[in-house]
Amino acid sequence: MRAGRVTGAEHEGQYEGGDGVTHAHGEQGDGDDVSGHEGGTTGNRPSTGTRSATATATGISTATGTTPSTGPRVDISELVRIRTRHPEAIAEAAARRVRRPLLNDTGRLMIVAADHPARGALGVGDRKFAMANRAELLERLCLALSRPGVDGVLATADILDDLLLLGALDGKVVMGSMNRGGLQGASFELDDRFTGHRAQDIERLRFDAGKLLLRIDYDDPGSLTTLESTARAIDDMAARRLPLFVEPFISRRTDEGKLRNDLSAEAVIKSIAISSGLGGTSAYTWLKLPVTENPDDMAQVMETSTLPAVLLGGEVGDDQDGAYEKWRGALQLPTVRGLVVGRSLLYPPDGDVAAAVDTAVGLL
């Protein structure tokens, strides 16, 4: 499907929606999905299943098709048209967005993460620039968000703005990514400045939570700067009664200078203890944690704090089933409330985004 078009009424600050939106339906057959593609730009595209009020108001549509695993292409030219002629449409879409509580009746969370590109982390497996195709990434996100049981998305402003214009965020939990300054491979990687959403931005846009990355290397002074900034971010979010998901690691550089996160039980325990104590209150702090290298250690690790936690995905590689089993076990622990997973679901080894997401949802 093509996105809607902006008409001459744009000079009056109006967008053509409803019947003014053009559609170009692709052919669909029984059982069509995204499987069989290695992250390419061909094949079936995601559908949100219904056309939201936001998409109608902006003149962009992302919905058609009769099955949830097939759907429209994202037309970048239409997104650019709205961005250039009506940049205020993003704030208007945020103001119209239908919100929901952070947790539903199940008390569980399933969030799809896509804040990697802003840190220059574009690779998935052996594909160095897998996440560099923005249209494809948006399509995969729209597909993931359309699946039953998916609660929301974590991303930076550029991606969330696109999803707002596409109407893909109604009724979803929206998490803004706050610090992306620690660029992958940079000498200053651990001096992870807050270059993304601020607490006031998350509040102004009516988003639901924030997330930050906290990597601690005892030999890198930049970690202290990030620690202090994290504490202030926790205070700023708590003052607005907004949840903040803190993703802590103990990290070390290899002899070659590459940064590695230590997933031993000892290191993860320390990272939890340090991050849980930051700020003037922990009332709105959540933890976003990895499964330890030995999954059997997770029960001991999670005894370190009473803060609610979600599990992160990280690099899964070809052993998708192994990752599911690790998550399954840790999800049984009392403080673990859900999953926040990105590349392993958006770019699974077999290319089947819908199946990967559905399997992860099933673990909850």
For residue range 75-108, what is the model confidence (pLDDT) as tens digits? Answer: 999 999 999 999 999 999 999 999 999 999 999 9
pLDDT over 50 (residue 307):
yes
pLDDT at 44: 36
Distance of CA 80 to the CA centre of its chain: 22
Q: Per-residue pLDDT tens for 157-213?
A: 999 999 999 999 999 999 999 999 899 989 999 999 999 999 999 999 999 999 999
3-class secondary structure, 286: strand
CA dihedral 323, 169, 333, 322 (to 10 degrees): -10
Cα 191 to Cα 231: distance, rounded to the nearest angstrom: 14
Question: Picking from 25-39, 219-233, 319-333, which range would have the lowest pLDDT averaged per residue?
Answer: 25-39
The pTM of the full predicted model, rounded to 2 decimals, is 0.81
Q: What is the DSSP letter of 290?
A: P
Which 3-state string (H, E, C) describes 91-105?
A: HHHHHHCCCCCCCCC
pLDDT value for 54: 53
Beta-bridge mates of residue 312: 340
CA distance 296 to 214: 24
Angstrom distances, CA of residue 323 to CA of 9, 85, 110, 272, 337:
51, 44, 15, 21, 17
Closest among 16, 34, 156 to 78, alpha carbons compared: 16
Q: What percent of the chain stands above pLDDT 70?
A: 79
Mean of all residue pLDDT scores within the chain: 83
Instruction: Please give the pLDDT value at position 60.
Output: 58
Report whether 250 contacts 267 (CB < 8 A): yes
What distance in Å separates the CA atoms of residue 243 and residue 134, rounded to the nearest whole number?
28
Residue 141 dihedral angles phi and psi, to the nearest 5°? -65, -45
| Rounded Cα gap, residues 44 and 179, in angstroms | 34
- Position 177 scores a pLDDT of 97
- Residue 160's closest CA among 146, 177, 144? 177
Q: Distance between CA atoms of 208 and 147, rounded to whole angstroms?
A: 20
Measure the CA dihedral 209/210/211/214, to 10°.
Answer: -130
pLDDT tens digits, one per residue of 237-271: 999 999 999 999 999 999 888 999 999 999 999 99
pLDDT tens, position by position, 24-74: 333 333 332 323 333 333 333 333 334 455 555 555 554 443 233 444 689
Rounded CA separation 320/235 (Å): 37
Residue 288 pLDDT > 50, yes or no? yes
| Helices 157-165, 88-96: crossing angle, 10 deg rounding | 70
Under 8 Å between Cβ of 343 and 119 = no
Say what the pLDDT of residue 257 is.
86
Task: Tell me how long the chain is.
Answer: 364
pLDDT at 346: 94
- Which pLDDT value is given to residue 93? 98
Record the tokens describing residue 217, joined without a space. 């290397």
Q: What is the pLDDT of residue 323?
A: 85
